[in-house]
Amino acid sequence: NRYPDITPKYYFKPNSDIVKDDLFSVTADKIAKSFFNNKDRIKGPITESQIRKFYDEVLRLRLKLDSANDKEKKFAEILPYLRMLIPKVIYSKSRNNVNKSFESFIKMNIENITKVREFEVFCDLFEAVIAYTKKYSREEGVIHNEK
């Protein structure tokens, strides 16, 4: 159940810009499942709202990129803000709000994103992970609507 070590270089088929067939299905499922691994517990189970908080930040940056006329220039502008998610996830881990699997997912992907296309695929991968999160949080008995 350990987090599958995937970084942007594994998003694509060899020597190609084509996304691997199973990235958004099999891989995303394994990643989501790792967030709810019983051996990787924090004080309580990781919550969907904690995961969603990071996804919302990524999505906000994606919207800025998508609305730009020059995506390469906009990507250079948003990259420092994307990388700021690394200290944020480290802080969340230190507060026991996220676990090691989630921290690794954020860190390993974000610190290795160097191109617009990698960022776009990461956003899509994160979206697929969010979808699978519902399945595993229910299996683990996580409360979905905490306030």
Which residue is listed with tokens 């996580």?
Answer: 142
Q: How far is C-alpha 89 from the chain's CA centre?
A: 11
**In this predicted structure, what is the pLDDT of residue 37?**
74
Which residue is listed with tokens 């899509």?
Answer: 124
Which residue is listed with tokens 């994606």?
Answer: 62
Pick out the chain residues at pLDDT < 70: 1-4, 38-45, 139-147
Question: Measured between alpha carbons, how far is residue 54 from residues 17, 20, 89, 91 in Å?
Answer: 26, 24, 8, 12
Query: Rounded to whole angstroms, how far apart are CA atoms 120 and 69?
Result: 16
Asked whether the CA dihedral 64, 65, 71, 77 is positive or negative, the reply is: positive
Query: Rounded to whole angstroms, how far apart are CA atoms 128 and 23?
Result: 9
Average pLDDT, whole number, for the chain? 88
Contacts of 99 (CB under 8 A, 6+ apart): 35, 37, 40, 41, 42, 46, 93
**In this predicted structure, what is the pLDDT of residue 144?**
42
**In this predicted structure, what is the pLDDT of residue 1?**
46
**In this predicted structure, what is the pLDDT of residue 47?**
85
pTM for this predicted structure: 0.88
Question: Measured between alpha carbons, how far is residue 6 from residues 22, 24, 116 in Å?
Answer: 13, 12, 18
